Structure 1
Amino acid sequence: MLKRTIRTWRARVARRFGVPLALLGLVTGFSPLASSVAAQAGTMQNYIVLYGSSAVPADAAASIARSGGSLVYSYDQIGVAIARSDSSNFRANILKDNKVEGASATASFATKLNDDQASSADASGPPPGDLPNAPATDTDTLSPLQWDMRQIHTPEAHAITGGSPAVLVGDIDTGLDYTHPDLAQNVDDANSVNCVNNGVPVPGKVAADDDNGHGTHTAGTIAAAANGLGIVGVAPNVRIAAIKAGNADGFFFPESVVCAFVWAGTHHVNVTNNSYFADPFLFNCKNDPVQRAIWKAEQRAIRFAMQQGTVVVAAEGNESDDLSHPTQDVTSPDTEANPPARTVHNDCVVIPVEISGVIGVTGDGHNMQANGGYLKSFFSSYGVATADVVAPSGDSIFGRNAEAVNGRVLSTWPEKFKTGSLPPGRVIESCDPTAPNVCAFYAYLQGTSM
């Protein structure tokens, strides 16, 4: 994952989903940071406006205008509007509307790593009945370097099926390189979108092109094709949609995260991958009036997607924190160079992984523990109440061995970011593909009748 995508290229059930083939056979936290996100006079900013009902009222545009702003986009499905204003009094003014439950400027709420208002109307989902399936091979040029796939036994699973093209995965990330030879055949243009434009969806794979690299890397772990070139993903036959919510600097602003999940829900995405935390706070505190509006808007969007049948998979993070017993946050807001340490408790959560119903993933390397099982990656966060599964993420310190020489995981990378030190096939070794592994596994399962 990225630096801000749960830090530097960032168990409800504490057991691994390590063998897909076998499974196929089978107290108030005080936040001193509220003042740091106050609106600055004369600075145009985006705002999340959270309404008390589950719909945006008909007079929202007029109310926002009276408060000194303009309506950018309405997410009527979840009662959230995106507004813009350069007034330092906008939040105070809009909160006078008794229909508004909360509001917050979003500029300081990005998780770090055009103007067309696209329709978010329903798109058709997979056809009913049996889904098409075909086996896949693991004999691509760089397959011998994919220790992570052998750890979870994907070659054995691929002998049965490589997943179904009727299954749609949404990679909520920084976009993906739709021209990449290991991804191009599986990219779904119609269901791809760029949500970075103030939370307004701009559809298509071109709009969702990756200008950071992180999204292309996660996409390869999920759905790199078995085509004789480069690597093979966990589910090489599924379709993958780029849902671009992270910008070129790797920030995931709240309006983009809301846009991404509403898009996933309305476009019947079967499963989403989320290898980031929603900026700028690693821990969003529900009892902070500013952070609460952001937390609740994102929660509504995530729940909306899940209510439409979307499985949401998210990484625990790369902070080596126990998310079930947090004590302090030394990362937030990550829009600041040297953020102050703040005390946090269980009323402060990491989004999206700590939203109820989200499948949380922690990571391991490739060295065994004395009592069995692989060692947890040194950087991977965890939590008995948040981590549901474990997947390979690499470990450059404790995960090196003859098979994993540098302990890292190989995946796809955009040509435009390639350096002379990279191996052929537009790939790079890095961390942390925990969530993409599990996301792809769920996509794989949805394409089988087993």
Structure 2
Amino acid sequence: MRSMKLSPSAAAAIALTLSLTACGHTPSSLRVASAAALSSQATRTYLVVYRGNEVALDAITRAGGTLVARYDAIGVAVARAADPAFASAVRRDARVQGASGTADFAVQLQKPEVEAAPTTPVASGDPLSVLQGDMRQIRVPEAQAVNSGSRAVLVGDLDTGLDYTHPDLAANVDFSSSASCVGGSPDQTPAAWMDDDGHGTHTAGTIAAAKNGIGITGVAPNVRIAGIKVGDANGFFYPEAVVCGFMWAAEKGMAVTNNSYFADPWLFNCRNDAEQRAIWEAERRAIRYAIGKGVTVVASAGNENMDLSRQNVDTISPDNTTAMTREVTNACAQVPAEVPGVISVSADNRQQRKAYYSNYGAGVIDVAAPGGDRFVPGPEGTIVSGLILSTWPASHRNNLLPSRIVQDCQTAPCATYGYLQGTSMAGPHVTGVVALMISQFGPMSPGAVKARLMQTAKPLDCPARSYNPLPQFLPGVDFTATCLGGMGHNGFYGAGEVDALAAITK
């Protein structure tokens, strides 16, 4: 499924102060231009990537820019400039490796579908875990009997923020480690990282909804979770926010981060393109820095039913202006799912088959996890029984159709939940399993986490070399996908479907 595109909003207000720990340096604060000054002087945001780690401020000012944030540990700065020639001007400095405008180069979350569907009413006070077939599919209840998570484990959810007032999340939210990175620098004001979309609250619930007698239960219900808001209210994740999010996760010592978004308006970010190269490099450096600090990075593979391992034709980019058809080579990649070291997750359904929308690719996908599939219901027979139920902000009920909303009213006000589908829903299952692994075995390197996750996954074979799951549902619509590889190592499922119990016991 292609992401539902939303119009980008104006740039967020820029935080006045940035305080981060640079590699090998003590924390320092940097005063940057006021929001009022930026609004009058600047019209676009840029990422500036340096050849070394040190950020040379004079390169930005000489090119007519204003510094917003600096990340010396990775040699990346965020700047604003009114002159459209800023990027080409700053690139002429020998210390600068690249510069790219970002106001039009956003990252958009993997939006789920929200079509109407019948649902089974749930009586007030009934636990909703009976509706979580996805958890039983990957043996989460059995795993939780062994270990339901440690308070020493901190998970970061890079998303649209999270609703820290939700009765199923409130006890597990780590306020001291949560922040909004919208704008490129962290803001810990709770109102700043409150979810104003719903997507982040949904992914957070799959990871860490509390086991408290109400609503649902997340994969790792006893771990702590931090909301790192890198997406705005319109669902766009700008590169400077993503860079800030990974740097924040690294400095806060998070064990694992969940990432349910992809590079946009270019479906693929191409390293051989001058405008996209600096964005790729800045995000790659931030992810590499986080991994180097011990943060395991989990990312959703995307919803375009596209083989990421092969040359593709992109007909929808850029989506902020007139789209053009272009061939996409191996110099282009989705971010962060195709960044080296990241655990890339595809989505399967209740029959353990690739969900019709999920991206795939031999050598790209590491593991699969339940992401929901409206065409493959669970035993209950309703469409929503094939989807993923998780926490949802009551204030954003209107973002979903009423048929996708369930409430548990043991608390006052009622706790709200929503049904969604997408690789965005698959990734959090894997993130939760990683949190259980680290709870069980103690600190693990990201490489060791990835290896164990893949070694203990349930091997799944290709359903057929040429696979089209939907002809009976959507005649004339072609969702054919070609699965390459064999049992336990193929383009649809990677090593297989994640197995929570095996991951912490084998």
TM-score after normalising by structure 2: 0.72
Distance verdict in 2 for CA 1:140–1:351, change over 3 Å: farther
Q: Which amino acid aligns with 2:392?
A: W
- How far does the alpha carbon of each residue in 1:242-270 deviate from its partner, in whole angstroms, 9 at most, with x for none? 01101101101110010011111111110
Quote how far apart the aligned CAs of 1:388 are.
0.5
- Match of 2:418, as an amino acid? I
The equivalences for 1:192-271 within 5 A come to 192-196=178-182, 198-271=183-256
How far, CA to CA, are the matches of 2:107 and 2:323 in structure 1?
A: 14
Amino acid of the structure 2 residue aligned with 1:47: Y
Q: Distance in 2 between matches of 1:2 and 1:232?
A: 29
Conserved in 2, the CA contact under 8 Å of 1:316 and 1:382? yes
| Aligned equivalent of 1:70, options 62, 66, 72 | 66
CA RMSD of aligned residues (A): 1.9
Q: Secondary structure at the match of 2:299?
A: strand
The residue type equivalent to 2:391 in the other structure is: T
Q: Tell me if the contact between 1:2 and 1:276 (Cα under 8 Å) persists in the aligned partners.
A: no
Correspondence for 1:48: 47
Alpha-carbon offset, residue 430 of structure 1: 0.4
- Match of residue 406, structure 2, among 420, 423, 440: 423
What amino acid sits opposite 2:379 in the alignment? A
- Deviation by residue 1:328-354 (Cα, 9 ceiling, x = unmatched): 122322334x52222101111000011
- Counterpart Cα distance in 2 of 1:140 and 1:166: 30
Aligned twin of 1:363: 347
In the aligned structure 2, how far is the partner of 1:331 from the partner of 1:387? 23
Tell me by how many angstroms 1:140 deviates: 6.7
1:174 to 160, 178, 185: 160
Q: Does 1:350 align with 2:328?
A: no
Deviation at 1:192, TM superposition (A): 0.5
The answer on 1:163 being equivalent to 2:149 is yes
Secondary structure of residue in 1 paired with 2:236: coil
Change (3 A) 1:356 1:224: same
Find 1:81's aligned residue among 77, 81, 92.
Answer: 77
Structure number with the bigger relative contact order (C-alpha 8 A, sep ≥ 6) is 1
Give the alignment of 1:18-167 within 5 angstroms: 44-57=43-56, 60=57, 62-113=58-109, 141-167=127-153
2-structure distance, mates of 1:5, 1:441: 30
Tell me the amino acid that sits aligned with residue 262 of structure 1. Answer: M
Question: Shift in Å at residue 327 of structure 1?
Answer: 1.1
Q: 2:433 aligns with which of 441, 446, 450?
A: 441
* Residue of structure 1 in register with 2:392 after alignment: 413
Q: Secondary structure at the match of 2:395?
A: helix
Q: 1:52 Cα shift? A: 0.5
Are the equivalent residues in 2 in contact too, given 1:324–1:383 (CA < 8 A)? Answer: yes
1:404 is displaced (CA, Å) by 6.1
Percent sequence identity over aligned pairs:
50
Q: Distance in 2 between matches of 1:431 and 1:93?
A: 44
Contact 2:157 2:204 in 1 (8 A): yes
Report the secondary structure of 2:240's partner residue: helix
CA distance in structure 2 between the partners assigned to 1:390 and 1:358 by the alignment:
14
Q: CA deviation at 1:43?
A: 6.5
Unaligned runs of 5+ in 2: 7-40, 110-124, 408-414, 442-503
Q: Which runs of 4+ in 1 moved over 3 A?
A: none
Paired with 2:196 and 2:3, the residues of 1 have a C-alpha distance of 15
Corresponding residue pairs, total: 378
Amino acid aligned to 1:90? F
1:375 paired residue number = 353
AA in 2 matched with 1:48: L
1:383-428 CA distance string (max 9 Å, x none): 111101010001112x213246212110111111114542213000
What is the TM-score with the length of structure 1 in the denominator? 0.81
Amino acid at match of 1:287: N
- 1:370-393 CA distance string (max 9 Å, x none): xxxx11100000111110101000
Establish whether residue 316 from structure 1 lines up as the match of residue 295 from structure 2.
Answer: no
Q: Which sections of structure 1, spanning at least 5 residues, go unmatched?
A: 7-41, 114-138, 368-373
* Counterpart check, 1:3 vs 2:3: yes
Q: Distance in 2 between the 1:253 and 1:72 partners?
A: 14
Inter-partner Cα distance in structure 1 for 2:138 and 2:362: 22
Asked whether the equivalents of residues 249 and 295 of structure 2 are also in contact (C-alpha less than 8 Å), the reply is yes
Alignment-mate amino acid for residue 402 of structure 1: P
Q: Hey, what's the Cα distance between the residues in 2 that align with 1:233 and 1:385?
A: 29
1:190 to 165, 176, 181: 176
SS of 1:159's equivalent? helix
- Measured in 2, the distance between the counterparts of 1:245 and 1:294 equals 15
From the superposition, tell whether residues 2 and 224 of structure 1 become closer, same or farther in structure 2 (CA, over 3 Å): farther
Deviation at 1:204, TM superposition (A): 4.5
Structure 1 distance, partners of 2:142, 2:44, is 51
- 298-307 vs 47-56, which moves further: 47-56
Structure 2 counterpart SS, 1:190: helix
Amino acid at match of 2:176: A
Distance (whole Å) between structure 1 residues aligned to residue 378 and residue 339 of structure 2: 36
Instruction: Check conservation: 2:168, 2:391, Cα contact below 8 A.
Output: yes
Classify 1:261/1:404 alpha carbon distance in 2 versus 1 (closer, same or farther; 3 Å): farther
Q: Go from structure 1 to structure 2 and tell me whether the alpha carbon gap of 1:260 and 1:143 turns closer, same or farther (over 3 Å shift).
A: same
Cross-structure match for 1:12: none
